[in-house]
Amino acid sequence: MSPAAPTQAPPISFEDTRVAFASKSDAQLRKVYALFAAMNNGTLVKTGSGLMKTALKWGVPGTKFLIKHSIFEQFCGGETIAECRPVTAELGKYNIGTILDYSVEGKGSDASYDHTRDEILATIDEAHRSKHIPFSVFKVTGVANVAILEKIQAGQLLTAQEEAAHARAVARVEAICARAHQHGVRLFVDAEESWFQHTIDLLAYDMMAKYNREKAIVWNTYQLYRHDRLDALKAAHDAAAEAGYYIGAKLVRGAYMEKEARVAKQRGYQNPINPTKNATDALYDESLRYCVAHIDRISICAGTHNEASSLLLTQLMQQAGLPPQDPRVWFAQLYGMSDNLTYNLANAGYNTAKYLPYGPVAAVMPYLLRRADENTAIAGQSSREFLLIQKEIRRRQGK
């Protein structure tokens, strides 16, 4: 008997704003429109960012309320896991998963590292209880000392005190990965700066070798704006194939470009970032092809807001005979952005999820200000998000 033909997804148009904004009422859409209109004013964003930080610092009455019901509400799920549950349920109505992202930066003490570990364990427990939370995520620097990670990568000897501190950090990572394995919850290890990323990679691969024997539970993250990351992924695949475990790979473009260039110049080594955006795009798409070609060993999450790469992955899946709901392939975007991707992919049956940051308002301000910067008008052109919202408002008005 010949095998059944693979399930074909309906055609996808990332321009379909009816699907993209189906979850928003007219009133909600107007509120989002006003927020993105404000963010398209570069002067307003720059001035407002400073005012918000100052007002929070000095405890100006009403500041937290205003932030929480504007930019925080757009890009974050709440201040606690419990506050995120209505958002998780709402996304779930549209077959979109939630990735709870505790977006509070560590304070460099064992107490703060232990608190972050416990919070990540709580997100794993929440994912275990909820059918709408397919992944948990953490940063190693949330539970480990950056300077020690950097010394290890540089091949420098640790003091006895540093050795003990690192052992505690590894124990925290181990506890997180063990809980994820216990509950069968996929776990992203986020990528960070290049001068200690190799230390993180080795730790992630150790956890994969231990917990990914049946399927990909622990997933490493590859920032493809680095020209060496596809080679790193290929080497990880070969090692996993030889040792008999599975790879989970979240592919992103990258988050630290200016910082990477600055540090490379300061320290006198070659900038690890691709010379052009086109080179990054090409490497990202080549990495998608590699993962789909090795899908028997690699599970993949395309963490991208790039429409061309997202469409390419759907085409690669169809060419490989993979149905849209294949559990080894996921798409993910940030909450509050690129709904035209997330909702249209989910509507076509693909596995999709939103990164949903949460934490105290003041603590997530750095994250919120980055989102405001990303959505600010560039060279007189309105942001993509703003234009899509305009288009949907006009559609609803019959124009």
Residue 380 pLDDT level (bands cut at 50, 70, 90): low
Q: Is the pLDDT at 394 greater than 80, yes or no?
A: yes
Q: Is the pLDDT at 140 greater than 60, yes or no?
A: yes
Q: What is the pLDDT of residue 9?
A: 56
Q: Is the pLDDT at 39 greater than 90, yes or no?
A: no
Q: Is the pLDDT at 396 greater than 90, yes or no?
A: yes
Q: What is the pLDDT of residue 2?
A: 41
Q: What are phi and psi of 265, to 5 degrees?
A: -70, -45
Please tell me the distance from the alpha carbon of residue 205 to that of residue 97, in angstroms, as a whole number.
Answer: 26
Radius of gyration of the chain (CA): 21
CB neighbours of residue 203 within 10 Å: 22
| Whole-prediction pTM | 0.93
Report pLDDT digits (tens) over 177-193: 999 999 999 999 999 99
CB neighbours of residue 4 within 10 Å: 7
Nearest to 176 by CA among 213, 147, 148, 203: 203
Report pLDDT digits (tens) over 67-83: 898 889 999 999 999 99
Please tell me the distance from the alpha carbon of residue 373 to that of residue 353, in angstroms, as a whole number.
Answer: 23
Q: What is the pLDDT of residue 1?
A: 39
Assess contact for 188 and 124: CB atoms under 8 A.
no
Q: What is the pLDDT of residue 4?
A: 44
Report pLDDT digits (tens) over 241-300: 999 999 999 999 998 888 999 999 999 999 999 999 999 999 999 999 999 999 999 999
Coil/strand/helix, residue 96? strand
Q: Is the pLDDT at 204 greater than 80, yes or no?
A: yes
Place of tokens 């070798």: 209
Assess contact for 91 and 134: CB atoms under 8 A.
no
Q: Work out the end-to-end distance of the chain between its first and last CA atoms, rounded to an integer number of angstroms.
A: 53
Q: Is the pLDDT at 379 greater than 80, yes or no?
A: no
Burial 240-272 (b: 16+ CB within 10 A, else e): beeeebbbbbbbbbbebbeebeebbeeeeeebb
Assess contact for 171 and 203: CB atoms under 8 A.
no
Query: Taking all residues of the chain, what is their mean pLDDT, rounded to a whole number?
Result: 92
Assess contact for 303 and 224: CB atoms under 8 A.
no
- Which residues partner with 247 through β-bridges? 298
Report pLDDT digits (tens) over 284-316: 999 999 999 999 999 999 999 999 999 999 999
